[in-house]
Amino acid sequence: MSSKKKRNDVGSGPGENIDIEDKINAAMDKIMKDPEEERNSSQRKYEPDNGESETEEYESEERYDSEEYESDEAYDSEEEYESEEDYDPEEEYGSQEEHGEDAEYDEEGYDEPEEGSQDFSRNIKASGKLKSARPQPVKYVPMDDIEEKLALLPENKRKKHKGLKITGLAAAMAVVVAGCAYAGMTYYYSDRFFEGTWINGIDCSGKTAYEVETALADKVQDYSIQVSSRNQEPQMITGEQINYQYLSTGETLQLLKNQKPYEWIKGFYEQKSYTVAENVAYDKTLLQQQVTALNCAKTENQTAPENAYVAFKDNQFQIVPETEGTQLNVKQAYRILDQAVADTQASIDFGTAPDAYVSAEVTQNDPELQSALEACNNYTKASITYTFGDQTATLDGNTIKDWLQFDEKGQLLMDDNTFHQHIADYVAQLAATYNTVGTEREFHTTSGRTVYVYSSVYGWAIDQAAEAAQLAQEIQSGTQTTREPIYEQTANSHGLNDLGNTYIEVDLSNQHMYYYQSGSLIFDSEFVSGNMSYSDRQTHAGIFTLYSKTSPSVLRGDKKPDGTYEYEEPVDYWMPFDGGIGFHDAPWRDAFGGDIYLTNGSHGCINLPPENAAVLYSIIDYNVPIVCFY
């Protein structure tokens, strides 16, 4: 359809303009209609107006609704409308001359409709200029005309439409204001810490990095440290005395850079706490001077520590603990204080730092001291009982503790030389009491006489060196035992007469010998002893034991300068017991016994008849004492 044809289809009279208004009003009613009002209007009863029945009213509206628009297919969008360039308002509507005076809109003659959609419809009907309800082509309407027609809307519709516009405008403004406020706060916190931010105990909400650094600097400006020590009142060292200053490490600024400004709202419900290094600088020379000026560093206020020691108290040995003392280790004390100041500590106690004081060299846990205690307790625990036949001698802690040395405080003085000397003295005392070598014994002879016989080679003799070493070991290990001492020489029995009941009796005065075994005489014989006319040939009195037995043998005298011997005499049985003196056979003699020995005796040996010498040789034992007496 051409543009010209479309223009011809558009009505040109006033009634047609009213029809357009009616369409606009209907569309606005659909947009603006309150759902509640729609429900109420569906139940409303309409009263007849100007003789027209309610039925006619609805029929008119029905016709209007049903024939108002055709389907979208009835129009071709490209043919329906002209372009904006071809549009001519006067051509569309026609001039006033073309339509006549009736086509004019007389604002004064146009009564504003009363409130309510019915009145507005009646006014339109009253005009008598309504045409068919069939939709007409949409005409371009200038904005002034639309505004003029909107002014004809009912009052309540206009108010409601206006309210929605205001609400939408207010909402839009609120969104814009909120967005501006959020952006403004984001910008504000771009160089400030969020609310609820704490650094090193300082509330940094809304502060810049510089302000936080200033607060940290103010925090250490009045720094001081309290120094406590043993037996002294605490003393203060102020930051001013050591030129104490704060140095930034840059950690605060880095925390701020790590903060995302657009997350500023988190600060109002989320609190964060950080710790940064409070780097400080101070004069270490001044700090050294402050340490040496402390009361605890002064000589008159210092006491040296005492070592722990072992003492004998309450009938037992125990360790007396060491004493700490107050002798300050100045160099170590300075190191401890220097570290405390570097860590910005508010106080330091040298008493809790063992390295700050000179320590005792020996503590109660010292391994050597523990060993000494164990040894001392063993001293009192040790018990050695010696047996000497029917006699005993006991060494126990009551005696041993007296061998230990203590100072005026009761501290044990470990002197091994002194202690071992006590042991040696004790063993020597045992030897003096119970040794029989070198003693004189009372002896009852077969002839009924009682004689006293001395011996330097027979009897009991304790090996004092070996016994002292054994005793020291047993004392230190706390040994409890009963035993004999270690002997270097033994006898047949204990007691004053240690000969027992097995012995050989040589009666030099009677020139007769007897061999008793377990108290029974098993052998006897006459003999010839050393010549009494020569002092160097006399047989020695004493108690001896057999050295050896040889058969046959050659007896020789002293060796002469020419290499020969004074004499050489072969014998069949040789049994020495006193150096070169012994029992042997003497076949060259015809008689034995009597007083031959006085002038014609031997060189000191006991000469026996050959047959008797053979018997003695067969029964004599090495350990049998040989008692020789006059």
How far is residue 83's CA from residue 151's CA, in Å, rounded to a whole number? 28
605 labelled catalytic: yes
The reply to whether 584 belongs to the active site is: yes
Helix (H) or strand (E) holding 615: helix 610-619
Angle between helix 367-381 and 464-476 (nearest 10): 110
What the block records as the tokens of 534 is 């020569």
Amino acid of residue 612: N
**In the chain, helix, strand, coil percent, each to 5?**
40, 20, 35
275, amino acid identity = T
Q: Determine contact, residues 226/235, Cβ cutoff 8 Å.
A: yes
Catalytic residue, chosen from 204, 584, 603, 628, is 584
Q: Looking at the DSSP assignment, which residues form a beta bridge with residue 576?
A: 582
Q: Is the omega angle on the peptide bond into residue 321 within 30 degrees of 0, that is, cis?
A: no
Spatial distance between the Cα atoms of 73 and 79, rounded to a whole number of angstroms: 12
Q: Which of 204, 296, 605, 628 is catalytic?
A: 605
Q: Are 276 and 297 in contact (CB under 8 A)?
A: no
- Distance in angstroms (rounded) separating the CA atoms of residues 437 and 90: 172
Preceding amide of 552 cis, omega within 30: yes
Pick from 245, 247, 225: nearest CA to 236: 225
Compute the distance between CA of residue 550 and CA of residue 530 in angstroms, rounded to an integer.
Answer: 21
- Check if the beta carbon of residue 200 is closer than 8 Å to that of residue 275: yes
Please check whether residue 427 is in contact with residue 468, taking contact to mean a CB–CB distance below 8 angstroms. Answer: yes
Nearest to 382 by CA among 484, 472, 485, 483: 472
List the structure tokens of 38. Answer: 């729609």
Beta partners for residue 574, in sequence order: 550, 584
Bridge pairing between strands 391-396 and 450-455: unpaired
Q: Which residues are designated catalytic?
A: 584, 605
